[in-house]
Structure 1
Amino acid sequence: MGVRLPEPVERPLRPATGQATLDSLNSQRRAEQEERTRRALGALGDDCPANLRQAALLRLQHPDLSVEALGLMCDPPRTRHAVNGQLRRLNQLAEQREREAGQSGRHAQAPTTHRPEPGLTLPASRSRSR
């Protein structure tokens, strides 16, 4: 008597989450990065450091290239880590500039703090002692 194999189980088909979905997500991410880079260059204007500007312009000119390939195109060539860091710093500088511009346009206001109603007590914070 031989070993009997179980009958194949029919499973419902799952929605296609394969390569097409990943390509769509990558395309969307690339478009968002391009928009952030353009906004950052616009916010910094002529104050953008040359090395950050070069990395950003290469990214905008060659959106399909890897960060490593962009680094090889830089003058002098850079590692992918350096290019990635420069693009990150570009966005950080632009965000900082936008925050400063937003704050200088407003009147200085004292920060408001939440105060509990009279008679209500806040729970004591729990601290661990080691």
Structure 2
Amino acid sequence: DNFFQLGGHSILATRLLARLRDAVGVDVPAVALLAGPTVGQLAAEVDRRRPEASVAAGDTPPPLRIVPAPQDRFEPFPLTEIQQAYWIGGAADFELGDVSMHFYQEIDGKDLDLARLEA
């Protein structure tokens, strides 16, 4: 069945492709879903985009290759989680929206010296 004929839309497509990327480690652009909106077509696209090296169960998949696609530079693309947060946070349509920020950083570490970090 066709994703869009079943009620799929751009936001659901973004979520679907992000979950797919997280689950199988393959980044499928939104234009590929538009061109092949069935499960079979999407599965074929995932197979086509898999890295050549096979990954054993439990291994960390190799990093994704970044392939320039200048012909697609004006096409919609899935947002990262932080991009989506910026977008929603800046929208006045949401209860906690209408707030802009220009910088975001997360730091994980053991024995973090907060006073030194803030200096």
Quick check: TM above 0.5?
no
Name which one, 1 or 2, has greater alpha-carbon Rg.
Answer: 1
More helix by share: 1
TM-score band (shorter)?
under 0.3
